[in-house]
Amino acid sequence: MSEESAGPARISTKISAMLSVRNGAGAIDFYVAGFGAEVLFRLDDGAVVAQLAVAGAEFWLADESPENLNFSPESLGGSTVRMVLVVDNPDALFERALTAGAKAVWPVENQPYHWRLGRLVDPFGHHWEIGKPI
């Protein structure tokens, strides 16, 4: 079967979070410094939209746009979503994020449900649980 007759390429199904923030450029800087994120895509034409990845785990961020009903946790007074980031060394990544400006909600500890896990809030109001199963 030739490539032309094979039909359109199949796309893998996945879910990627889109975080709304007040300062997209600053958020990119934080995620690169705090989580070691790689910027995969960036559009900065007055409003920032970017795709990032932490060790291959992708997420998006964009400047909030109330006209499109996209609000940051700062505007809402909190967030309805927590991000869960599973990594080999949660202690090191947690400390790196704190050094970059995040605030601890609770430290990385062994949990009774067989996870080593901590929770922090980034400078833009998004909560991250960083851990791994043990």
Residue 24 has pLDDT above 90, yes or no: yes
Residue 35's pLDDT band, with cuts at 50, 70 and 90, is: very high
pLDDT, one tens digit per residue, over 2-17 is 455 567 888 889 899 9
pLDDT at position 1 is 46
What average pLDDT does this structure show over 108-133? 98
Domains of the chain by range and CATH?
4-133 (3.10.180.10)
Please state the length of the chain. 134
Instruction: Tokens for 60, please give them.
Output: 């998006």
> How large a percentage of the chain has pLDDT more than 90?
87
pLDDT at position 4 is 54
Residue with tokens 């705090």: 34
pLDDT, one tens digit per residue, over 54-92 is 999 999 999 999 999 999 999 999 998 999 999 999 999
What span, in angstroms and rounded, lies between the C-alpha atoms of 48 and 126?
17
**Region at 115 (left for phi over 0; alpha for psi -120 to 50; beta for the rest):** beta
What span, in angstroms and rounded, lies between the C-alpha atoms of 17 and 37?
14
pTM of the entire predicted model: 0.89
What average pLDDT does this structure show over 30-47? 97
Q: What is the 3-state secondary structure (H, E, C) of 38-84?
A: EEEEEEECCCEEEEEEECCEEEEEEECEHHHCECCHHHHCCCCCEEE
pLDDT at position 7 is 73
The enclosing H or E element of 112 equals none
